[in-house]
Amino acid sequence: MSSTPAPRTREAFQSRYAFILAAIGSAVGLGNIWRFPYVAYDNGGGAFMIPYLVALLTAGIPVLFLDYAIGHRFQGSPPLAYRRMARAAEPIGWWQMGICFVIGVYYAVIIAWAGMYTVLSFTKGWGKDPKAYLFGDFLKLADKPGVEFSFVWPIFGVLALVWLVTIAALAAGVQNGIAKVSIVFIPLLVVSFLVLVVIAMTLPGASTGLDALFKPDWSALTHPGVWVAAYGQIFFSLSVAFGIMITYASYLKRKTDLTGSGLVVAFANSGFELLAAFGVFAVLGFMSQASGTPISKVAGDGIGLAFVAFPAIINEAGALGIVIGVLFFASLVMAGFTSLVSIVEVVVSTVRDKTGWGRVPATLAVGGAMAVISLLLFPTTTGLYLLDTSDAFVNNLGIVGAAIASMVVVTFALRKLPELARHVNSVSSFTLGPLWYFVVGGLTPAVLMYLLINDVIDKAKNGYEGYPGWFNGVFGWGMSAALIVIALLMSLLPWHDRSSLHQQATYEDQHVTEEELA
């Protein structure tokens, strides 16, 4: 028998508060600010709170617990965790890692844009026509989708800086990098957005916006699409089922209250997006009144809300607009950056677990590769088209597909839910039982399957955004299929003796006694 080095100990968060802030940092991202408010408004307003809360309790929180259970029990990045569960489940972990790789590569450029718009806010540098500025002078958007290596050098430079900072944070490690980033930025983000909301609520017309957001349309509750929208919003908002929470939970000490921590993370995430909704609709109400346009015409989401509507609002708000702009775009940077760190960490952790490399070499390798791809594709005149398509397909096909696969395999093929529940219950305040099995094994996969099938049919019939078939074929369908193929191929590679599979034991493997767990 060959001699092997002494077992390695896995990196860990030094306290559960560090973990909780890091998990909140991962969950709270761009979507909390620019997606939730519009989804709520467009799906019944105040009445949407009912399906939203139901979805939080019956899908978001249970699936979050599942991720925590897998990560903490099997002590690894997604490929390692699933591999330890069962050899045949390993591809699911690689699929989740691949999803993180794709998302990380395009997510960084949005943070770059937000950073640049923070600076532009001081002078309202987008001028009188923010839309023309965004697509013209700023992005220099090409006339049609394609792949052009015509670089927009200011964006290239800022994007490179985003990657440098991300790599530095990750290279510093779990506690000194990932945790510290969230310990600094999350309180700052909350304070910034609170100030923004207070200012927004004082603007004339703010109550009109809030009325539009919260006025309940009870008939919406009879539409299945509204319930699907609620489940979709919770699912995408909480950063569950694509490897982040598995990875972060693997860095927790043995005796951690998993469900107690998870409840804080879930409600903090929802609390922040509710706060964001107050702020966004208060300023939309102001814009509606100032321009004499109905809320329905000014309300929007995504990049249009952030980089067109908000600059227009800032233009109308005089000197106060500068404060609103700086706070809003700086909040996007902070929310986005803490999420980006968590996304890239999944890939770094995977490489470390698979190869046995130290943190710095793995971070440089992963961060370097992702940065190169990101810099080649996204700060270009066609970057927005690539981002739009990649995002639509990786979220609605990739994340949803991997989530369904995970829940179905873990529940029915591997029958691991009782073991995971026992593990969680041995250390947690809030215990899991048959209701959790039903939700994770039945309800949530069923809702996600409905989401997935509807989206696949819609995209197959109608394409996406009118982009050319070849473009959606390569960067949408092709990318989605490639992630699955690569996952299957990666799972065929053996695990080296120096890998974490052989060098890092799970808590159970360390023969924990009942007394230690009491």
Binding residues for another protein (CB under 8 A): 8-12, 14-16, 20, 45-47, 49, 53, 173, 175, 207, 210-211, 213-216, 253-257, 260-261, 263-264, 266-268, 270-271, 274, 357-360, 429-430
* Complex with another protein: residue 323 or 512, whichever CB lies closer: 512
Q: What is the dihedral of CA 435, 437, 438, 443, to 10 degrees?
A: 120
* Complex with another protein: residue 49 or 195, whichever CB lies closer: 49
* Complex with another protein: residue 253 or 459, whichever CB lies closer: 253
Q: How many Å separate Cα 191 from the centre of its chain?
A: 21
CA dist 351 and 100 (Å) reads 13
Please, what is the minimum distance in Å from the beta carbon of residue 42 to another protein? 15
Contact between residue 375 and residue 163 where contact means Cβ atoms under 8 Å apart? yes
Please, what is the minimum distance in Å from the beta carbon of residue 337 to another protein? 22
Contact between residue 62 and residue 245 where contact means Cβ atoms under 8 Å apart? no
* Complex with another protein: residue 73 or 416, whichever CB lies closer: 73
Nearby residues of 233 by Cβ (< 8 Å), 6 or more positions away: 35, 36, 39, 40, 52, 55
Please, what is the minimum distance in Å from the beta carbon of residue 14 to another protein? 7
- Partners of residue 45 on adjacent β-strands: 216
Task: Count how many residues are written for the chain.
Answer: 518
* Backbone dihedral angles phi then psi of residue 151, each to the nearest 5 degrees: -85, 140
* Axis crossing angle, helix 400-408 with helix 61-74, rounded to the nearest 10: 70
What single-letter DSSP state applies at residue 504? S
* Complex with another protein: residue 286 or 467, whichever CB lies closer: 286
* Complex with another protein: residue 87 or 215, whichever CB lies closer: 215
CA dist 497 and 494 (Å) reads 9
* Complex with another protein: residue 70 or 174, whichever CB lies closer: 174
CA dist 250 and 247 (Å) reads 5
Give start and end residues of each alpha helix (H) in 463-517: 469-472, 479-490, 500-503, 514-517
**C-alpha dist (Å) from residue 250 to 22, 128, 226:** 13, 50, 35
* Complex with another protein: residue 279 or 445, whichever CB lies closer: 279
Coil vs helix vs strand at 216? strand
* Complex with another protein: residue 491 or 500, whichever CB lies closer: 500
Please, what is the minimum distance in Å from the beta carbon of residue 435 to another protein? 18
**C-alpha dist (Å) from residue 466 to 144, 388, 472:** 10, 12, 9
CA dist 26 and 100 (Å) reads 12
Please, what is the minimum distance in Å from the beta carbon of residue 361 to another protein? 8
Please, what is the minimum distance in Å from the beta carbon of residue 200 to another protein? 14
Please, what is the minimum distance in Å from the beta carbon of residue 216 to another protein? 5
Contact between residue 28 and residue 192 where contact means Cβ atoms under 8 Å apart? no
Please, what is the minimum distance in Å from the beta carbon of residue 1 to another protein? 24
Please, what is the minimum distance in Å from the beta carbon of residue 46 to another protein? 3
Please, what is the minimum distance in Å from the beta carbon of residue 497 to another protein? 16
* Complex with another protein: residue 213 or 326, whichever CB lies closer: 213
